[in-house]
Structure 1
Amino acid sequence: MADLIGLAASAAGGGVFGLVGTVIGRIAGLVERRQDNAQERARWMHEAAVLDLQMKARASELAGQERLAQTSGAWQGLSASMAAEASIGDSYRWVNAVRALTRPLLTLLLWLITGLVYLGAAADARAGIVETTTFAATAATLWWFGDRGNRREVR
């Protein structure tokens, strides 16, 4: 009978240790899965951050290309305008005098309009309106008078 009790105790002890080992194995498996999930989550977050940075870089690149195209178009327009201006030949003296006074009078009128818009605009709308009219007046002034010096031909 002692052998039977010893055999039962051994079986029970082995079973308990087997169950404890299984529980420990399952817990270890859960811990490993959590670590794997955490690593996978970190990898996904890293990939998402990299994709976000790539999208921002591409958007910045496209914005730069757009600004370059706008600037290039503006310079081409200015070049065509200057070529058209240069192609106008001399005419009667009074026509040349009127043409010579047109730019100064238009510039004075443009700056007068800018001042009147500033004085007449509401305080909250004033900044945007003044920026736009100042841009127009400055661009016109510099373009109209920026290249007015005597031109010497280089041979």
Structure 2
Amino acid sequence: MDGDWFGMAASAAGGGVFGVIGTLLGRVAGYFETKQQQAFERDRWQHDAAMTRLQMEVSRAEAEAELNAVQAEGSWQGLTASVAADAALASGYQFVDAIRALTRPALTLLLWLITATVFFNVDDALKARVVETAVFAATAATLWWFGDRTSPSGRRYPA
């Protein structure tokens, strides 16, 4: 009978040791599982934050594009109104119409003559700034004055 008690005590001790080892292994596995779950959650939150940032950037880009479209539409409407108003200025006098028609070409030619005069007659210290400004003005005038003489539909307007 003593052997039975001893065998039972040894079995209980062996079961306890394996139970403790099993508990420890479960805790270690639980620790790594929790750590892995936290890493997954952190990655998911980072992904969600990145997606939110991208959605905000897309919304901002859409708003900017819409604003640019509205501004461009307003510019075209202003240009159309200006051209229409200019077309409505028919005087009925050929002399007045001829002077109006020659205004833009004459001013453009004058700007380019001023640019050439400045380029060839201004001393080198001032030349860069003055010539840059004169070339800017002459180029802008040439492209603007002659560029808007034709409407998008192809109809030509007088000067």
Q: Normalization by structure 1: what TM-score?
A: 0.70
TM-superposed CA distance for 1:92, in Å, is 3.9
Paired residues in the alignment total 144
Alpha-carbon distance in structure 2 between the residues aligned to 1:131 and 1:6: 107
- Secondary structure (helix, strand or coil) at the match of 1:11 reads helix
The corresponding residue for 1:121 is 129
Alpha-carbon distance in structure 1 between the residues aligned to 2:24 and 2:77: 78
- Output the amino acid matched with 1:146: T
Alpha-carbon distance in structure 2 between the residues aligned to 1:35 and 1:19: 24
Residue 111 of structure 1 contacts residue 137 of structure 1 at CA under 8 Å; is this kept in 2? Answer: no
How far does the alpha carbon of each residue in 1:4-52 deviate from its partner, in whole angstroms, 9 at most, with x for none?
5444433332222121111111111112112212221232222223212
Q: Normalization by structure 2: what TM-score?
A: 0.69
The corresponding residue for 1:140 is 145
Where structure 1 has 5 or more consecutive residues not aligned to the other structure, the ranges are none
Deviates more, 1:63-72 or 1:45-54: 45-54
The corresponding residue for 1:13 is 14
Residue 91 of structure 2 contacts residue 97 of structure 2 at CA under 8 Å; is this kept in 1? Answer: yes
Deviates more, 1:82-91 or 1:133-142: 133-142
Residues 36 and 150 (structure 1), Cα distance of their counterparts in 2 relative to 1, 3 Å cut: closer
Alpha-carbon distance in structure 2 between the residues aligned to 1:69 and 1:142: 22
The corresponding residue for 2:87 is 86
- Output the amino acid matched with 1:10: S
Residue 90 of structure 1 contacts residue 96 of structure 1 at CA under 8 Å; is this kept in 2? Answer: yes
Alpha-carbon distance in structure 1 between the residues aligned to 2:156 and 2:62: 39
Where structure 2 has 5 or more consecutive residues not aligned to the other structure, the ranges are 120-126
**Percentage identity across paired residues of the two chains:** 46
Residue 114 of structure 1 contacts residue 134 of structure 1 at CA under 8 Å; is this kept in 2? Answer: no
- Secondary structure (helix, strand or coil) at the match of 1:121 reads helix
